[in-house]
Structures are given as C-alpha cells and as structure tokens.
Amino acid sequence: YRLLGGIGVGLASVLSPMYIAEISPYQIRGRLVSWNQLAIVTGILVVYFVNYFITTLGDSTWNELYGWRWMFASSGIPALVFFVCLLFVPESPRWLIMRNRSDKAEPIMKRLGLDSTVIMQSMDAAAEEEKGPHVKLGAKIWVVGLLLSAFQQLVGIQVMLYYAPEIFKNMGHGTDSAMLQTILTGAVNFAFTIVAIKTVDKYGRKPLLLCGSGLMALFMLVLATCFYLHALGPVALLCVLGFVASFAFSWGPVTWVLLSEMFPIHVRSKIMSVAVAGQWITNYLVSSTFPLFDKNDYLVETFNHAFSFGLFGVMALLSGIFVYRLIPETKGRSLEDMEKLWKIEDFVTTP
C-alpha cells in the first residue's frame, strides 16, 4: 500500500505543477506554480505537528506498536479532500486545444481570465514549428531536465527533512528537543517558500537558483566543519535552518517552475515525466545511503558525521555551475515561446 501511495504521489508531483503552468498567465506563472511547493511544505509542517502530537499519546512501546499507524492514517484525510476538490477542476485548455477540442477550451480560458485568441494563435504557431525541420529533440534538453531534478535532491534537502530528528540527536539533543527543532525546520521551510512566491516573477528563476546554490553550499560546508570539530552549538543549528531556508526560496519551488514551463510544448509532459521520475530515484538513493554514511564506523571516527554534509556542500556548488552554464531564463515568456530558448544545435534536423 505504500507502493500504491507512491504511485499517487508520483502522478500528482508531475501533473500538479504542469497543470498550474498551463492555466496561468505568464506574468504570474512562477508565483502560482510556487504555490504548489508551498502546499507541499505546509503539509510537511502540519505532519510534523500531527506526528509530535501522536507521539505524546503513549510511551515508546505504544508508538512502535500503534503510533506510526495513526501517523499513516492521518494522511488519508488530505488525500480524500484532494480527490473531492479535483472533481471541480476544469481540464487544461492547452491540452484540449492540442486534442483539437478548442470549442471546449475557450469557455475554460474565459473562466480563468486567459486571452484565448493569443493562446490559440501561439499554439498554432508552435504546432507549425513542430512540423518544420526541427522535429526531433536532441539529448541535451533531456539531460538538462534530468540534472535539474537530480541536483534538487543531491544537495541533501530530503536528508534534512527525513532525518532531522536524528541529525539533531547527533548534535546532542534529546528526543523531545529534536522533535521540536524538527518543527522549527518545517516552519523555516514554510516561511522561505513564501519568499520564493514573492520574488520568482520579480527577479527571475535563474538568479534565485544561483543564490540558493551559493548559500546552501556555504551552510552545508560550515555544518560539516562544525561536526568535524565537535562544535555542535548554536552555529550548527543555524546552519541547518539556513540551509533549509536557502533551499526553500530557490531550488524547492523554482525547480518545479522550470520543469513545468521551460521545455517545448509538444514534449513538455514527456520530459517532465522522465525528469520527475529521475528526481524520485535520486531522492531514494540519497535518503537510503545517508544512514549508511552517517553510521559507518570509519567515517564517524574520522569525520564525526561530517562526511555526508561536506558531500552535500560540494553538490550545491556543482548545482550552481550547472545552472549558470545550462539553465535558460524563462521569466516573462509564454509556454508556446519556450522552443526559442534552446539553441538550434539542441535539435536534430530531419530531411
């Protein structure tokens, strides 16, 4: 049943930001897609509170036998609400137009306040370009999508969220204190996602990613140094919160914004599906290998839990180089205009 739940999450993680991008005016598209990430971190924060409350209902034996079951069961409530709300959501007008059902798309666009004439004309132009000499996409555009998704996970954010109580325990905090500081981490994640919503359409996608990469690298490398020197005081806690904040206003929401908008319209869904699949695979690899590194006797004796955090800091630096070299700026462009962002050599010409 966890596998079935994972399938549902996988579908929603691809379709939600893509759908939001397709129904949004380009002037506020980044802001609206970022709301999807805000909903996610809000759910994470609420779960921290719910789980903390459940742990207080019994002792450790009760939690091992029953508490975790209530934690899983509580997630059924928002899932049911989500299902009911989806019954009232209109189909994507761009999808309808691509399926030659413009008659059904036009009233939806009017309802959403979109300029139906402009969208239809631009989609017709994009369709004509698709029939032209640049039909088949080269490998580079797929690699960019995969690397963007992979770097979002390789910087170590899921480790900070999944293993926050364990990390705080390694700092010398007790179980109750670690759980409370986990809630603080979720609150910071929530607050700085709002910063992204306020700035992504003002400053653009690429500046936020570059700023986030630099700050994440700084906080992770300082945190690794704190662990290595056994200096696990307020500075170490500040580094954890600073890293989460840096991710929350940059790579957290902006990755989803770019994945949902920056690819040519006729392959966007395919590339995004592959990229998000790669993201979840990377998520699994990072989160499953962290305990192996963090509890390895040699690494603990040599680095005192610093190894993984130093590695995440290096990945954050590499993510910044990747963004600087390969990610185009998509601010202020329509979805139908994205094909022009990619250089001509990114496409394989056909006779």
pLDDT digits (tens, 9 = 90+) for 79-92: 999 999 999 999 98
Query: Percentage of the chain with pLDDT > 70?
Result: 87
pLDDT range class, residue 334, cuts 50, 70, 90: confident
pLDDT at 171 over 70: no
pLDDT, tens digit, 9 for 90 and up, residues 30-79:
999 999 989 988 888 888 888 888 988 988 889 889 999 999 899 899 99
Confidence (pTM): 0.79
Average pLDDT, the chain: 85
Give me the mean pLDDT over the 156-161 stretch: 86
DSSP characters for 101-161?
A: -HHHHHHHHHHHT--HHHHHHHHHHHHHHHHSS--EE-HHHHHHHHHHHHHHHHT-HHHHH
Would you tell me how many other CB atoms lie within 10 Å of the CB of residue 62?
12
- Asked whether 23 and 112 are in contact (CB, 8 A), the reply is yes
pLDDT, tens digit, 9 for 90 and up, residues 176-213:
566 667 778 888 989 999 999 999 999 999 999 999 99
Query: Percentage of the chain with pLDDT > 90?
Result: 41
DSSP characters for 188-211?
A: HHHHHHHHHHHHHHHH-HHHHHHH
Q: What is the CA radius of gyration of the chain?
A: 22
Question: C-alpha dihedral over 39, 44, 45, 50, to 10 degrees?
Answer: 120
SS3 340: helix
CB burial readout 270-279, b (16+ within 10 A) else e: ebbbbbbebb
- Asked whether 150 and 279 are in contact (CB, 8 A), the reply is yes
Give me the mean pLDDT over the 150-165 stretch: 85
